[in-house]
Amino acid sequence: MVSVIDEDRALVALNFEAPDLPDPLQHQSLRHLKQGVDLEWDKAPPEDVAEQLSAYFKRERTDFDLTLAPKGTPFQQKVWTALQAIPYGEHISYGELARRIGNPKAARGAGSANGANPIAIIIPCHRVIGANGKLTGYAGGVHRKAALLDHEQNALFTW
């Protein structure tokens, strides 16, 4: 994963780095970063982020307690806030996401904002699926989206 931290030590971006993906620093979510802002680019997330992600993948954590500062339009910010309200182990459709932000006709726009999410996993854009129940686009690849949903669903039934 590649992380970006701003001058206030808030997480601005967290994206996948893998041979099958484009350079994460070129992700569309980073296009909104302002020139001249002091940012730290790192190939590894900061310790607190790494610890919480590790606990998530060990099924010891279902949410995150981190300072986030994703850069985006007001509409994108509304979508990203709504994403954080989707409970662990659950999923909703793009239409439902649009309804939750008070704009029920904006499913496509909500989908675009979802795709521009700069903080993968922590802002859980993987929890949004097509209205027909099919998995649709994911910046980290649909196979990663499926794995994250499976991870969360199976964690709910582990004894």
List, by residue number, the catalytic residues.
Answer: 125
Q: Which residues contact 80 (CB under 8 A, 6 or more apart)?
A: 70, 72, 113, 117, 119, 123
Question: Residue 56 gets which letter from DSSP?
Answer: H
d(CA 135, CA 138): 9
Q: Give the C-alpha distances (Å, rounded to integers) separating 105 from 73, 132, 145.
A: 18, 17, 25
Contact yes or no for 55/61 (Cβ under 8 A): yes
